Amino acid sequence: MTAAGKAYECTKCGACCVAPDISTLGKALGVRCPNLGPDNLCTAYEQRPQVCRDYAADELCERIAAPSLEERVANYLALFGLEARR
């Protein structure tokens, strides 16, 4: 919940598991997490690192909203002026 009191619900889109880098997992920016299943859900949910446990949906999720995971990731990267590693 934000300071303004708005609660954000996780849409389980998977963007947070693709767009940012996750150094704990050795995951580069814009690269799909190896633990992200084809259904965009974490396959290691019970053993996920603390950085993943601490993440909560926020206003950024609304700002990058799009019909597909690929579009959400592109929106995230564009928002911060970043490019995915290839």
How many C-beta neighbours within 10 Å does residue 76 have?
23
Per residue in 22-50, pLDDT tens? 998 999 999 999 999 999 999 999 999 99
- How far is 35 from 39, CA to CA, in rounded Å? 11
Nearest to 20 by CA among 43, 68, 45, 64: 64
Interior/surface letters 11-29, b for 16+ CB within 10 angstroms, e for the rest? eebbbbbbbbebeebebeb
Domain map of the chain by residue range? 15-79
pLDDT of residue 48: 94
pTM for this entry: 0.87
Q: What is the pLDDT of residue 4?
A: 64
- pLDDT at residue number 70: 96
